[in-house]
Structures are given as structure tokens and as C-alpha cells.
Amino acid sequence: MTVVAVCQLGLAVGEVESNRAAAAAAVVEAAGQGAELVVLPELCDSGYVFTGDAEARKLATPAADSPTLHEWQALAGGYHTTIAGGFCELGEDGLLYNSAALVGPGGVLAVYRKAHLWDAEKLVFTPGDAPPPVVDLPFGRAGLMICYDLEFPEWVRLAALAGADLIAAPVNWPAMPVPVGERPCDVVRVQADACVNGVFIAVADRCRVERGVSWVGGTVIVGPDGYPLAGPVTADEPAVLVASCELARARNKQVSAHNDVLTDRRPQLYRQVTG
Amino acid sequence: MTVVAVCQLGLAVGEVESNRAAAAAAVVEAAGQGAELVVLPELCDSGYVFTGDAEARKLATPAADSPTLHEWQALAGGYHTTIAGGFCELGEDGLLYNSAALVGPGGVLAVYRKAHLWDAEKLVFTPGDAPPPVVDLPFGRAGLMICYDLEFPEWVRLAALAGADLIAAPVNWPAMPVPVGERPCDVVRVQADACVNGVFIAVADRCRVERGVSWVGGTVIVGPDGYPLAGPVTADEPAVLVASCELARARNKQVSAHNDVLTDRRPQLYRQVTG
């Protein structure tokens, strides 16, 4: 069993030092509960609700030279864990990316640039063109994608087909109206993503209003059958959730005597999907 | 506004006459509530839990010569509605298909053969090779697919890309364990299918144990935001649910100032999905 943690943080745009401190405290708390993988929110160093490109640019750093990633490496080493979290990246091409990194004691294992940008992000960031990475870790294979990416089943499928046992998903889910008694659709979509692919998905969301934007607070760990193992929080408060995940379950895609969710696909009939 | 009905029926394998009568009674009830489209369950003439190929073959009829489809046409004409439902089809090639038809007063508008077969269906039926049909009706464009098809986001996407406003989905969802307090994942997947595509989905499920198999009873109508408009029933009892659907909502895929769930797709990056 692998202990996975997801951290719901209250952050503030531009307050990079205190944001990093909040993330570090959550990592320490999660590691104290035995977490081998800790997931942090999207853009968790810079905050999210930028006034525009200029503000985001001031908060962005190159991945190779990011104090945020350096700190995560130190935390991963000191607390024997691996960290997946979002950061504001200045590309070597001078463009801004809404990125996430997977960082272990030995350094950065993967950097991923969000490929599907949400709303005003399109005014600030350049979308990534690379598929979600899947990294072989000692406890299993971890994929990485960000927030709105999860709303494109094609994208989640790519990670599953690439062998991800678990998808780590830093998010900032802006709150939308939810009918009484219903679970927010952001969480519902993740449940579906998990069960149609037979993978674990670990989502870390935001809390605390930022420049008028409030959040779903939907931090959750979902199992390969689509049901939550921890969360969703769905409250506007910080939280560190952990779940013991038998990641090997994601290697068996069988859902009945005659069905396997990946080999039952009929890719030759789906070609129109890519057009 | 278009009134859509979904009918959860208690059926019995082999009892074709009484199954047809149950479906007809439900159509009459739905039409009495103004339904312009009535959705019936999968294989709702034959029943589902066959002993094998021989039994299914005895219950199958060619689409062109199906008493079930003839009756639906008469009902559609008499009650000014359109019917989507599942039937056991004997192909002109001598093979058996788990099919569904869309039938109006003028006759059969589309026949669809389930492309993703569930469990022992693979021992009886041949999977269809044609994409889900999308039919232009006076009130909107209706797509058609069956049960396990809904677990392949690629398939639902095809119908959305082909312009479906609503997907009619006859199902027979066998009951699986559901954690206390959770909505069955069959329903959760349909919610996700609806909101990632901005379409309505109308699902008609079974009830009443058949040869030891019980059912989710998950009959539901979901709106393009992913939340239920009627149901889910999630009880082992017959039901006729109706919802007034503003189908034009499905023509607007915008979900924020800068986002559209279909044009935000990045098909050139998804090619690996089809491989």
C-alpha cells in the first residue's frame, strides 16, 4: 500500500514566500502521516488570479532555477517523499506556462505544461504541447496533469494508455453554482476519469477567496472504481487528506469476466475523435 | 422546451409479449405527460440474461420485420412522440446484435448496434461497427448509444462532434457494490459524459431481478452542465420520469468567457488515443 496525500491550501496571489511556507507545512504534515506522494495545488507558488501578464511574469521562474522546485527537492529529501505541485514557469523561450512538476529527493523528475487553459489563463499563459508525463516511481507510475486538462477525457486516456497507475492533479477549481444535494461536477468528472481508465486520481484544490474568486475546495483521492478514498473536502478550508492506495489495482483493468476498460476500446472506430 | 421521458421497466427474459406491453404502457404514460421523446431500456423486448446464443436467437427479429419496432411506430403515431429503445436484432447476415432504434410516426429513423459489449453479451452478440447515429428531429438532434458504450468517452464525443443535442441511452446496468452515501458510478459517468460535451443524456434502465441479476435502477435525465434534471431513480421499481429540456442549451458549448468544451479540444495532441 502506498500512502498518498493531497493538500488543500489557502494561498494569495503574489505572496510567494507565504505560499511556499503553506505548501511546505502541508508537505511536512503529509509526510508525518507516511505520505510517499504529496500533491499540491495548481500555481501554488504564485497564486492564480493575476491582474494580467505583467504580474504573472514577475512571479514566474525558470524550472531549472525555481526556488519553489528547489525547496520541494529539499523537502522530498528531508521527509522521504515525492511532491507533485503547480508552479508559475518562465520558459526558456520567454513565454509563461502554467506548469506542474514532480520532484523527488534527487531533483525534478518531470515538468508538465498545462495543455488546456482555463478562461483568463489564455491571456497570460501559452498552452503546453507535450502529453502528460508518466513517471516510474519506486511505488508505482505517476502521471501528471492540471485542472481543466481533466475535462478532456482524451487527455486522461493518454496518461492511462501510457501506463499511469495514479494521476496527480494540481487544480484551482473556481466555484460555480452547484444544485442543492449535488456533488460539484469537477469532482464527478474526476470520478468518471478514474473509473473509465481504472486509475487512481489525486486532486489538490485551493481554498480561501482570492480577488473575488472562491473555489470548489474539491480536494479528493479517487480509486480506480471511481469512488472517493478520501474527500472530497468541498469546504473553504485548508486540509491534508491521506489515503492508502493499493496502486497495483490500477494494473488490472478487468471489470467483468469478459471486460477490460482499455482493451475493450475500439480505436479504429474513434479516428473521427482526433479530427 | 422539449419534454423528454425515460422509462425504467421491470422486464423478464423471454416474455416478449408482456415486455412489449410494459414498454407500451410506459410510452402512453410518458406521452400523457407531453413527452416528445421517450427512452426505453436496452433489449426491452427480449430481456437480457440469456442462457446463451440459442435463447437469444429465438427472441431476435430483423429490424425491418420487428413486431417491436412496428408497435413503437404505431405508438409514436398514435401518441405524437418519438421512441428510442433497445431490441434484440437478427441481422441480415444471420448474426445477433444488441441494437437500439429511434422510431417516429413515419417509421424507423435509425438503428444502432452496440459497439462495446458487456460481459456475456460477447458470447451472444456481434459488436456493431458504425458510429452512434445522430438524427435531426423537429425538436433537436438526438444521438443513440447503448449502456457500456457510455463508458468510452471517445464514443460519447463522436456523438457530440456529430452535433447531438441529446443522447438517448437504453441501458441495462447490472448492480455492483456501491459505497454507502455514494451515487452509483454508472450515473456519475453519464454526468461527466454530459458536461464534458455539453449535451443532454437520457438514460432508461431496468429494474426487477432477472435470473439472479439485479439492476442499478439508475434511470436519469442529465443536463449539459452534468447535473440531473430528473432522477436518478436508484430504486428497484418501475418509473416514468420526465424533464423539460431546453435542447438549444446544447448548441452553446461555452463554459467561461474564453472556453468552449469542444473547440478547446486539441485533437492533434490526441492522436495516440486512437492507436
* Whole-number pLDDT of residue A272: 61
Start-end of H helices in chain A: 16-32, 53-59, 67-79, 153-161, 185-197, 271-274
Among A131, A178, A256, whose Cβ lies nearest the Cβ of B269?
A131
Q: What is the pTM of this model?
A: 0.98
- Which of these is catalytic: B7, B44, B147, B195? B147
* Whole-number pLDDT of residue A30: 98
Going by C-alpha positions, the residue among A99, A76, A66 that lies closest to residue A24 is A76
Touching check for A260 and chain B: CB below 8 Å? no
* Whole-number pLDDT of residue A274: 44
Partners of A116 on chain B (C-beta within 8 Å) are: 264, 266
Closest residue in A to B198 (Cα–Cα): A151
| Average pLDDT estimate for A209-233 | 98
Q: Suggest the residue from B118, B255, B259 to mutate for an interface test with chain A (most A CBs closer than 10 A).
A: B259
* Whole-number pLDDT of residue A247: 98
Partners of B273 on chain A (C-beta within 8 Å) are: 154, 157-158, 161, 267, 270, 273-274
Touching check for B257 and chain A: CB below 8 Å? yes
For residue A268, the SS3 value is: helix
Closest residue in A to B259 (Cα–Cα): A119
Residues in A 186-205 with any Cβ partner in B closer than 8 A: 188-189, 191-193, 195-196
Touching check for B260 and chain A: CB below 8 Å? no
Cell of B113: 448496434
Residues in A 159-188 with any Cβ partner in B closer than 8 A: 161, 178-179, 182-183, 185, 188
Residue range A27-51, pLDDT digits in tens:
999 999 999 999 999 999 999 999 9
Task: Look up the ipTM and state it.
Answer: 0.97
Told to judge if B122 belongs to the known catalytic residues of this protein, a careful annotator would answer no
Told to judge if A147 belongs to the known catalytic residues of this protein, a careful annotator would answer yes
Q: Are residues B161 and B196 in contact, defined by beta-carbon separation less than 8 angstroms?
A: no
Going by C-alpha positions, the residue among B81, B93, B104 that lies closest to residue B28 is B81
Please state, in angstroms and rounded to a whole number, the distance separating the CA atoms of residues B266 and A274: 8
Chain A closest-CA separation from residue B49 CA (Å): 15
Inter-residue long-range contacts of A176-181, CB under 8 Å, 24+ positions, other chains counted: A176/A216, A178/B227, A179/B227
Contacts of A146 (CB under 8 A, 6+ apart): A42, A86, A98, A99, A100, A112, A114, A169, A170, A171
The number of helix segments (H) and strand segments (E) in chain A equals 6, 15
The number of helix segments (H) and strand segments (E) in chain B equals 6, 15
User: Are the Cβ atoms of B266 and A127 closer than 8 angstroms?
Assistant: yes
Q: Suggest the residue from A121, A148, A256 to mutate for an interface test with chain B (most B CBs closer than 10 A).
A: A256
Beta strands per DSSP E along B42-129: 82-90, 96-104, 107-113
Question: 1.10.1530.10, 3.20.20.10, 3.40.50.1400, 3.60.110.10: which CATH number matches B2-274?
Answer: 3.60.110.10
Residue range A53-90, pLDDT digits in tens:
999 999 999 999 999 999 999 999 999 999 999 999 99
* Whole-number pLDDT of residue B274: 44
* Whole-number pLDDT of residue B275: 43
User: Are the Cβ atoms of A273 and B273 closer than 8 angstroms?
Assistant: yes
The domain limits of chain B are 2-274
Partners of B198 on chain A (C-beta within 8 Å) are: none
User: Are the Cβ atoms of A269 and B129 closer than 8 angstroms?
Assistant: yes
Measured between alpha carbons, how far is residue B199 from residues A133, A174, B159, B191, B251 in Å?
30, 22, 9, 10, 8
Told to judge if B253 belongs to the known catalytic residues of this protein, a careful annotator would answer no
Among A183, A258, A270, whose Cβ lies nearest the Cβ of B120?
A258
User: Are the Cβ atoms of A185 and B192 closer than 8 angstroms?
Assistant: yes
Torsions phi, psi for B229 (to 5 deg): -95, -25
Torsions phi, psi for B24 (to 5 deg): -65, -45
Residue A187 burial by CB count (10 A; 0-12/13-18/19+): exposed, middle or buried?
buried
Residue B166, strand partner residues = B142, B200
* Whole-number pLDDT of residue A271: 81
Question: What is the full per-residue pLDDT of chain B (275 aa) written as tens digits?
Answer: 999 999 999 999 999 999 999 999 999 999 999 999 999 999 999 999 999 999 999 999 999 999 999 999 999 999 999 999 999 999 999 999 999 999 999 999 999 999 999 999 999 999 999 999 999 999 999 999 999 999 999 999 999 999 999 999 999 999 999 999 999 999 999 999 999 999 999 999 999 999 999 999 999 999 999 999 999 999 999 999 999 999 999 999 999 999 999 999 999 999 864 44
* Whole-number pLDDT of residue B272: 61
Please state, in angstroms and rounded to a whole number, the distance separating the CA atoms of residues A248 and A251: 5
Q: Tell me the pairing of strands B206-207 and B2-10.
A: parallel
Q: Are residues A189 and A151 in contact, defined by beta-carbon separation less than 8 angstroms?
A: yes
Q: Tell me the pairing of strands B37-39 and B82-90.
A: parallel
Residue A166, strand partner residues = A142, A200
Please state, in angstroms and rounded to a whole number, the distance separating the CA atoms of residues A147 and A115: 10
Touching check for B256 and chain A: CB below 8 Å? yes
- Which of these is catalytic: A7, A44, A88, A147? A147
Q: Is A275 a residue whose pLDDT tops 50?
A: no
* Whole-number pLDDT of residue B10: 97
The answer to whether the Cα torsion of B62, B68, B74, B79 is positive or negative is negative
